[in-house]
A and B are shown apart, each in its own frame.
Chain A
Amino acid sequence: MSDHISAGHAPGRTFPRQDAPSKALGAEKYAVDHYGEGLLWAGVKRAGVPHAKLRSVRVEAARREPGVLAVLTAGDVPGPNRQGVVRDDQPVLVEDKIRHCGDGVALVVAESREALARGLAAISLDITELPGVFDPEEALAPGAPLLHEDHPGGNLLLEGRLQKGRGAAALADCPFVAEAVWELPRQEHAYLETENGWARLDESGAIQVIVSTQTPHRDRLEVARALALDPARIHLRAPYCGGAFGGKDGVTVQSLLVLAAMAFPGRPIKMWWSREESMIAGAKRHPARLHYRLGADREGRLKALAARLVYDTGPYDHLGGVVAALGLEHAGGPYRIPHVELLSQAVYTNNPIGGPFRGFGVPQALAGMELTMDLLAGKLGMDPLELRQRNLAGPADASPAGVKLAGVEGLRGCLDALAGHDLWRKRAAWQSQAGPHKRRAVGLSALLHAMGYGPVIPDEARARLVMLADGRFRVYSGVVDMGQGNASTFVQIAAEVLEQPAHCFELRQPDTDEVMSSGSSSASRTTYTYGNAILAAAQILRARILREAAAILGPRVKPGDLRLAPGEAVHPGLDAKVPLRQVAERLSVERREAEYHYVAPTTQEPKAPDQTLALHGFPHAVYSYAAHLAAVEVDELTGKVEVLGYVAVSDCGRVLNAQLLEQQMQGAIIQGLGYALFEDFAAPRGRSLTPDLATYIIPSSLDAPAMENIFLQSKDASSPLGMRGAGEIGINGPLPAIGNAVARACGIAPRRFPLTPERVLTALGQLGDRP
């Protein structure tokens, strides 16, 4: 741990969130708040069919609409017209093949929103519909319609396999085997700020872009490649996002906006997807089918696990392979199991796009494991908490995926904390107090979550920190703040090292002209990676300031004699002070600027079974841990499930800012509660039935229980900050914890989520039967 950080001036618990006042006042400018003189509106015609040959786009009527300035199609795209981070398989505008209803087929630029709407409505398509494929397992069958004829694996985007010991064969030796196929829904991010951006081609030939994104530097490269532009021409700024959760990890409006801007030099262009467009065209959490078989001996020791995870990735890669790889790494949970066989697949379909969403494939995988654990506990007649405690991996063990789980003792602490919690200890009494036609039960889940990019893609940050001429400081945030508060934490870290109060800092949001790439705001890496970089940059600047202040005080004064205080450097022995303004005046601009390139730790252990899996991020070096408890009440007459109590015990290493950490956990838990109970982006045969917030239901204030969050803080030696990732782990817990509680209350475990009243009633009606 750093010397300065613990002796810091502004203790983490109370450091004020820097963006809160401007956001509460309505003064903060998001991407969507940019308009401008002479504004033009750009919008996209969506395909509306899931699979078709596109013969032509009829644009003439649209071009005749008053106020419509241009209608562009694939032929107007100057470059290869391909987007995608791992496999660039997504066109900016469809050339000849439509692969899902949300595909863009034409771009309209108009003088007003009204003219834009008329223009879009006037476009018609000449298409020949193709047979579609809407179930990932059917998509793998021989003869299934192909999404990408040029993909060597057919509809199988990525497959990862891991085996340990005798694999599935060892199940035959297990006296107790739990077996289930779990179905998890497609979850919509439903961030309040829908996908949008603003762009303008200026006189110098530079293209100014302001966009709601998690990945400004990568976007710039993606857009430049798709449109055959020099990336240096694209100046991209990423203000605070109005939510993102992974849905803005990758290009949304960017290429389209730049295409429109190129067509109308000097004019500001705005693209702002409606809620319905965001629902239809935006990425979703992958629906998953999880085949689990888990075996134990008579003492309840786990002996064998066979799992197959099938992720419906929709029509494009969009990091779907990376999602499936992270799911694979977590598929066996945090347990010691000698014989393991894991298979994870990401499969192309004509359904909505699957993509990154907080948790990134892990909520599905851990749901499969943790729900099956409770089935097994039932077969064994064993307490589910005891089953988890008995089988938890130790520091010397590898996970079922073969990965060493550094810090896994913290998870034992989390489980022990739940064991001692009143909601667990006194559950029998609480359950017996259920009213008429109500049933109560308590369920658990044990969780882990990896941080960062894995062994191949460098997980690095280049922090920039500047001392201003007046002795104050400017922190450059190099990684987008989509609402987590990481930008504020960067200031906090610098403030602690430099021992200055918050008001002595300016804060800049990511700008490709001002900061080098520090990677995406994702993978629970943001505070960890950039935070460690800003910590080191602040230490460099601190040393320079103390050296210069010592020089001002005379040749006999050493930098080590000084300390920093608000606005000054102080020599306690001599009772002398040097204002920081004076120090700044004596430092050159270059020396007032500190940069630090930090690379997060990685592991090659175990070596990935193939290079493809390593490229997709397997394995990871740093994990966080948690255990969740949900106390639910089921209404026997309506099937409604209410969560009455929720406890999460998390170990994410050292807590930098308790308020921000609680924000992350509370928000993740309620997103997870929605995932468990009612969120389901229904799209039978690829067509959305839930394109708005009246049909796609996210939790409201009345659905969210009060939560108790407890944080253990084991020492983490993997980086100077002593912390681990915390943005995602919280969403892994609610679905299995609530699912296990409902199963206990009903006496049978519903296999399909979310647990709508209909499904719960069905489970209650089929007591004793297989659902």
Chain B
Amino acid sequence: MIRLTFSLNGRPVRLRTAADKRLVDLLRQDLGLTGTKEACGAGECGACTVLMDGEPRLSCLTLAAQAEGRELTTIEGLAPAGELHPVQRAFVERGAVQCGFCTPGMALSAAALLARNPSPSAQETRQALAGNLCRCTGYQKIVEAIQAAAAALEAEP
């Protein structure tokens, strides 16, 4: 067992866990944050994406131990409680959510994209999402939603 201290969705966390525990299992099974999805377990699909110090990270390929001292954001912490992040709002309004299993990872990848590039082109958006597979939407409404979220964020004071 190892001791870990990190920030999770803005709150400090201290816990003991197995040294070989995957981050995705710590989040989902031990901490009950099931918004983080696992769909391949091998870093191929992006469903388990979380943000580590603001950067997208595949939690199925990350050991819990690697969270030590980091700031972690899961889908549950992307927006303040009771609110939607502009990316989430755009996903809802623009029809970018179907089965929804890729949505948390997709939304976190998109939020990270907009943090580093506030007005990405459609092609830049597609490139940023290339590691997040979706089997339902055909991606069109996801790309449109992210472009709409970018515009909404730009318009904010």
Instruction: List the interface of chain A (C-beta within 8 A of B).
Output: 16-17, 19-21, 23-30, 32-33, 35, 113, 189-194, 240-245, 274-275, 482-485, 659-660, 662-663, 666-671, 692-694, 698-702, 704, 706-707
Contact = CB atoms under 8 A, between A and B. Distances in A.
A191 B41 contact: no
B140 A693 contact: no
Contacts of A29: 34
Contact of B97 (A17, A243, A666, A702): A17
B56 interface: no
Contacts of A663: 95, 98, 136-137, 141
A192 B45 contact: yes
Contacts of A692: 40, 42, 44
**Most chain B Cβ neighbours within 10 Å, of A26, A190, A244:** A26
Nearest to B20: A114
Q: Across the A-B interface, give the 7 residue pairs with the lowest CB-CB distance, nearest first.
A: A26-B35, A483-B99, A23-B100, A242-B101, A26-B75, A670-B138, A33-B34
Nearest to B97: A20
Contact of A16 (B39, B88, B92, B136): B92
B139 A701 contact: yes
A666 B37 contact: no
Contacts, number: 168
B121 interface: no
A26 B74 contact: yes
B149 to A, nearest CB: 11
Interface in B110-151: 122, 125-127, 129-143
A25 B122 CA distance: 24
Contact of A192 (B37, B84, B95, B142): B37
Contacts of A189: 135
Interface string B61-100: 0000000000000111001000010001001110101111
8 contacts: A20-B95, A26-B104, A193-B37, A667-B138, A670-B138, A694-B44, A706-B122, A706-B140
A662 B75 CA distance: 26
A548 to B, nearest CB: 36
A112 to B, nearest CB: 10
Given A26-B75, A275-B41, 9 more contacts: A23-B97, A24-B91, A25-B75, A113-B25, A243-B99, A243-B101, A660-B95, A667-B136, A694-B44
B97 A25 contact: no
Given A24-B88, A483-B100, A693 B40 contact: yes
Nearest to A34: B34
Given A275-B40, A692-B40, A698 B91 contact: no
Given A192-B39, A701-B142, A17 B92 contact: yes
B59 interface: no
B42 A192 contact: no
Given A242-B101, A693-B44, A700-B133, A24 B107 contact: yes
A700 B126 CA distance: 9
Given A275-B39, A484-B98, A663-B98, A191 B76 contact: no
Given A192-B133, A692-B42, A693-B40, A240 B100 contact: yes
A732 B91 CA distance: 27
A576 B44 CA distance: 61
A149 to B, nearest CB: 38
B135 A243 contact: yes
A35 B41 CA distance: 18
Contact of B84 (A24, A32, A245, A699): A24
A242 B126 contact: no
Most B C-beta atoms less than 10 A away, residue of A27, A113, A669: A27
Nearest to A33: B34
Contact of B42 (A190, A243, A668, A694): A694
B133 to A, nearest CB: 6
| Residue in A194, A241, A663, A701 with the greatest tally of chain B CB atoms within 10 Å | A701
B8 interface: no
Given A25-B84, A26-B36, A702-B130, A669 B99 contact: no
B136 A193 contact: no
Nearest to B91: A24
B47 interface: yes
A636 B100 CA distance: 39
